[in-house]
Homo-oligomer: A and B are copies of this chain.
Amino acid sequence: MGIDHRMSRANAPTLEDVARLAGVSTASISRALNDPDKVAKPTRDKIEKAIDALGYTPNFGGRALASNRTNTVGAIIPTMANAMFASGVQAFQEVLSEAGVNLLLATTGYDPEQELRQIKALIAHGADGLMLIGDARPQTTRDFLDKRRIPHVISWCFQPEASPVHVGFDNRAAAYAAMQRVLALGHRRIAMICGVRAGNDRAGDRLDGVTAAIADFGQGAELIQVTEARYRLEFGGDAFEAIMSHTPRPTVIMCGNDVLAAGALKRARELGIDVPGTVSLVGFDDIGLASVVTPPLATVRVPQIEMGRAAARLLLARLGGQDGDGPVELHTEFMPRASLAPPAPDSP
């Protein structure tokens, strides 16, 4: 390894090499690189030629040390296995990339301790700022972000009293609206397969929205069962099976996200339970999956791409010293599809 270093160092031209070749000072080159307007055109040309001739690229460590910035930001998400985060992060990265900023990515598996560990790791690795998902995190973590004055944005959630670092949508309101649509179709016996709520405010908010909509609706509507399940196909299936093995059965099952709903749907097929004939299914997120399964899943469309982009823009603004125009609220849309139908007429 020592050898490697020496070799790469030996190979790598430094600012001083460029300066010598171009016949200017290192300061001018630095300026030409970082703030071209400060350097006269002819000088800039000489410098450019020298840089090309040597194949010079600035040394990252030197730059970071002197300027105290890395032009790198971190994103910490629960998992990439969920297409929703994957596409959001992709959009996030694309916007950063256009601004010459790179992305450090880490995952937590929905574990708050893991999140703090990753926050520390990314900061130690030089991230200038962070993008985090959701609002549920221990005080320790909040304190760390505050004390270290770490520029960050929080995405995938939005509360009426959101702070300027938030960019997302109101999970509770979206779930409330979806539930209203379902109630309007005539459903009264409702079950929910909810994501694990510990350390995940979105899961809790979605349940709250469903609960509140049912309560506000009245007319005998009732949430007869709630099962928590980790966001994986098979757990969605297990939860579905558990719910359907109880009497009375619900006429509709609201699911914490599309993965759970797809798992439920798959299990329904395996059990010979007709969807939506026997029971309707509603998902959340509208990932690609939702429209490909049979029947297609009714769900809530979440603007994943736009959210990733908006998060990137807000974070870049904050890093640039501006406030950005946060908080940013994005809107969701209920997508009625064939997995949702009115309850069968013979169900009381």
Query: Is A57 positioned at the interface, with any CB of B under 8 Å from its CB?
Result: yes
Residue of B with least CB distance to A87 = B81
Residue of B with least CB distance to A105 = B105
Across the interface, do A105 and B81 meet the contact criterion of CB distance under 8 Å? no
Across the interface, do A57 and B123 meet the contact criterion of CB distance under 8 Å? yes
Across the interface, do B107 and A121 meet the contact criterion of CB distance under 8 Å? no
Query: Is A223 positioned at the interface, with any CB of B under 8 Å from its CB?
Result: no
1/0 contact string of A266-299 vs chain B (CB within 8 Å): 1001000000000000000000110111100000
Across the interface, do B292 and A104 meet the contact criterion of CB distance under 8 Å? no
Query: Is A103 positioned at the interface, with any CB of B under 8 Å from its CB?
Result: yes
Q: Which of B8, B57, B81, B125 contacts A60 (CB 8 A)?
A: B125
Residue of B with least CB distance to A296 = B266
Across the interface, do A104 and B72 meet the contact criterion of CB distance under 8 Å? yes
Interface-side segment among A24-32, A89-97, A174-182: A89-97
Across the interface, do A321 and B4 meet the contact criterion of CB distance under 8 Å? yes
Q: Which of B57, B59, B65, B93 contacts A107 (CB 8 A)?
A: B93
Across the interface, do B97 and A87 meet the contact criterion of CB distance under 8 Å? no
Query: Is A227 positioned at the interface, with any CB of B under 8 Å from its CB?
Result: no
On chain A, the number of residues with a Cβ less than 8 Å from chain B's Cβ atoms is 66
Across the interface, do B266 and A292 meet the contact criterion of CB distance under 8 Å? yes
Across the interface, do B57 and A65 meet the contact criterion of CB distance under 8 Å? no
Query: Is A86 positioned at the interface, with any CB of B under 8 Å from its CB?
Result: yes
Q: Which of B61, B87, B262 contacts A64 (CB 8 A)?
A: B61
1/0 contact string of A2-27 vs chain B (CB within 8 Å): 00110111010000000000000000
Query: Is A218 positioned at the interface, with any CB of B under 8 Å from its CB?
Result: no
Across the interface, do A68 and B58 meet the contact criterion of CB distance under 8 Å? no
**Residue of A71, A79, A83 most packed against chain B (CB within 10 A):** A83
Across the interface, do A125 and B291 meet the contact criterion of CB distance under 8 Å? no
Across the interface, do A105 and B93 meet the contact criterion of CB distance under 8 Å? yes
1/0 contact string of A41-70 vs chain B (CB within 8 Å): 000000000000001011111111110111
A305 to B63, CA, bound (A): 36
A11 to B150, CA, bound (A): 12
A103 to B125, CA, bound (A): 10
Query: Is A80 positioned at the interface, with any CB of B under 8 Å from its CB?
Result: yes
Query: Is A265 positioned at the interface, with any CB of B under 8 Å from its CB?
Result: yes
Residue of B with least CB distance to A265 = B292
Across the interface, do A289 and B291 meet the contact criterion of CB distance under 8 Å? no
Across the interface, do A94 and B107 meet the contact criterion of CB distance under 8 Å? yes
Residues of B within 8 A of A147 (CB): 55
Residue of B with least CB distance to A319 = B1
Q: A7-B149, A58-B124, A105-B105 are in contact. List 9 more A-B contacts (CB 8 A).
A: A8-B148, A60-B64, A62-B65, A83-B83, A97-B121, A102-B104, A102-B125, A233-B292, A269-B294
18 example contacts (A-B, Cβ-Cβ < 8 A) are as follows: A8-B68, A60-B64, A60-B125, A61-B65, A61-B66, A61-B70, A64-B64, A64-B65, A64-B126, A71-B125, A80-B86, A83-B86, A86-B86, A93-B106, A102-B104, A102-B121, A265-B292, A266-B291
CB-CB nearest 8 A-B residue pairs: A61-B64, A61-B65, A60-B126, A294-B294, A80-B90, A80-B86, A1-B321, A86-B86
